[in-house]
Amino acid sequence: MSDRMPTFDSLMNPLLEALFELGGSGSIDEIYETVIEMQDIDDELASVPHNPEKSNLTEIGYRMAWARTYLKKFGFLENSTRGVWALTPLAREKRKVNPKDVVKTVREADKKVSRQKARKTNRSESIELSNIDSVDSDSWHEELYHLLTKEIAPDAFERLTQRLLRESGFVQVEVTGRTGDGGIDGRGIARIHGFMRFHVIFQCKKYQGSVSAGEIRDFRGAMVGRADKGLFITTGTFTPAAIKEATRDGAPPIDLVDGEELAEKLKEFRLGVNTEMIEKVTLNKKWFHKL
């Protein structure tokens, strides 16, 4: 691992700074991109994968996940079920943390909980706090990632993308996938509120790494004059330079969907991902007073 790779605790204050920059709340992707930009982390470092066999997380994304987890347990962050993270009143008041204090406090609290559980079950339980493989992730994400990248064929992934776009409101979705067509896998028409329509060309890439800016430029070159927008879907991630290239001023826009967003969309439309839950709705008045 590169010596330049920031540790998870060194990312705590940059993460808080990013949330202040975003107005107090943001999605995981927004926070990630803002930290990368504010800390001037280059593409090479930002593209280092954590464990490409299990997930599409980059190493920095993985360590940011741990920073979020520790800051939440420390009382500086809260998050919703839709993946939006926000500063708490304590974070707004203090603005910064001492990372060593955060790590010490959280680990002591976790050890206390572990001892209490061990007493209740009359058995010894230990938590290896340095082992952070399960942070901010669900097992179904890892299973889905393995399925999409290792088990299904490329043409099956294209058909899955076609079905997903149709479920999302696209019409006339066609998978082309012709060799030598600049990476274009298909086209469709996006309907906006039943009135506006945009011709969209898409590329769907089974990938365990990060899509580069060069790949985005190649895709844009293939779509120019053939569609209103481009859509690039991958099981992997996008480098910061790729994200900037996709939204470059004066160039045809390209929307990006990475592996995490793809998983959530499949879950939303119940495409091979089933959810079981018992809903109980309560009102949290304190939350409204904190706004």
Residue 111: pLDDT band by 50, 70, 90 thresholds? Answer: confident
> Domain map of the chain by residue range?
1-137, 142-268
Q: Which one is the CATH code of 1-137: 3.40.1000, 1.10.1740, 1.10.3470, 1.10.10? A: 1.10.10
Q: CATH second-level architecture of 142-268?
A: 3-Layer(aba) Sandwich (3.40)
Residue 121: pLDDT band by 50, 70, 90 thresholds? Answer: low
Output the six-digit token pair for 8: 């998870």
Residue 230: pLDDT band by 50, 70, 90 thresholds? Answer: very high
Residues 6+ apart with CB under 8 A from 54: 142, 145, 146
Lowest mean pLDDT among 38-47, 160-169, 193-202, 235-244: 193-202
Residue 81: pLDDT band by 50, 70, 90 thresholds? Answer: low
Output the six-digit token pair for 12: 């705590």
pLDDT tens-place string over residues 173-206: 998 866 555 678 999 999 887 778 889 999 999 8
Cα separation, 255 vs 246, whole angstroms: 7
CA 164 to chain centre: 18
Per-residue confidence (pLDDT) for residue 289, from 0 to 100: 64
Cα separation, 25 vs 79, whole angstroms: 9
Cα separation, 207 vs 235, whole angstroms: 5
